[in-house]
Amino acid sequence: MKILVVGGGIAGFAVARALELKGFAPDLVERRLEDAPGGMGLYMPGNVARALAQLGVLEAVRDMAAPILTQSILDHRGQPLSVTQTQALWGDCGPCLSLPRNALQAILRGSLRHTHARFGVSVTKIRQATQSCEVAFSDDTTATYDLVIGADGVDSTVRSLIFPGAVPTSVGTVCWRFITPNTTGINGWTAMLGQGRTLLAIPVSAEHVYVYADLTLVDGEAKEDIKTTPLEGLFNDFAAPVFSLIANVPKDTPVHFGSIEQVVMDAWYLDRVVLIGDAAHASSPSMAEGAGMAIEDALVLAECIKTSERVDAALHAYVARRRPRVDWVQKQCVARDKMRALSPLVRNAILRLLGNRLYTRSYTPLLAPL
């Protein structure tokens, strides 16, 4: 079977790896010439580690990642609301890990042996026939495929060509992300909650920490106005240990700013084109499952392609297996975001009383095997 993977990020490299393990040699195109720049971290709960093990790359990831043994939630003054021991839930499923996002991409890319990849090339047109897809590329070449996999993220070109009405929608939040020296001794997943604002710090190595900050826009606030406001001023009522990381960030640190968007679709495939990962079902980062859902998608899709006699049967089986799990994650993201938006008095009381139970409820369904 001739397969095209569109997208050279975590989802694209993961599905190419999964297909190789099933005996396929896909083509892959990525519109960027270079890998994604540094400055963004990635936290992976235990089900993600299990999926990476199925791809055969977990040991390489563990060699570069920081183990995350606790999740602590504090109020904006630094007072603890809840502390969760992560392995109490994940147990034998897999460790919780954190590392720079581009490090995981490099490991996945380096695991490929039979994929023919082209960088700096994008898809410009997809024309579907009964038994094939004719694809046109930005370098004026064309090729015919039995299956096209859109793994090109929240701003997916494949989705826009095949499902033009399915567009990302903002959840009303903007965020900042960067990696900086761990000068405050952060030793686990550490979130601080304020009124309409969150600060989060996670170790990604022995020396560095990934910092995520978000702010809910209120009526009349413009994204561009917020972008130009100094981050330190937006969070100046926050305390240690996370505020110090944004107050003292080195001036040359790359800081990524953007809106949090979600993608909710009734269908993930049409004829011989299928979407995986954020292209199909992007969520807010509240569950830290964006990469996990993409990698799990990759494993299930490759298995369905291998075991099904027809492409349509494979894609139907893929969606049937993945939809309940993805729907659960998306619903949990919405619920968690709503809880964060409660008045601090109510939200903090809930977290003090039920923090560990809420964590267990959210993640227990993901312990089930794929």
The domains of the chain, with CATH numbers, are: 3-168+262-367 (3.50.50.60)
Residue 220: the pLDDT is 65
Q: Rounded distance, CA 304 to CA 292, Å? A: 18
Query: Which pTM does this prediction carry?
Result: 0.96
| Mean pLDDT of the 298-318 span | 97
Of 344, 234, 332, the C-alpha closest to 284 is: 332
Q: Rounded distance, CA 158 to CA 166, Å? A: 11
Q: What is the mean pLDDT of the chain?
A: 96
Of 259, 292, 295, 279, the C-alpha closest to 362 is: 292
In 10 A of CB 192, how many CB atoms? 26
**Residue 76's Cα: distance from chain center in Å?**
26
pLDDT at 24 over 80: yes
| Mean pLDDT of the 248-256 span | 91
**Cα separations (Å) of 194 from 5, 29, 53?**
41, 42, 37
Q: Rounded distance, CA 295 to CA 253, Å? A: 29
pLDDT at 221 over 90: no
| Mean pLDDT of the 92-99 span | 97
Residue 222: the pLDDT is 73
β-sheet with 66-67: strand ranges across: 41-44, 97-100, 66-67
Query: Any idea which residue has 């406001």 for tokens?
Result: 229
Band of residue 224 on the pLDDT scale cut at 50, 70, 90: confident
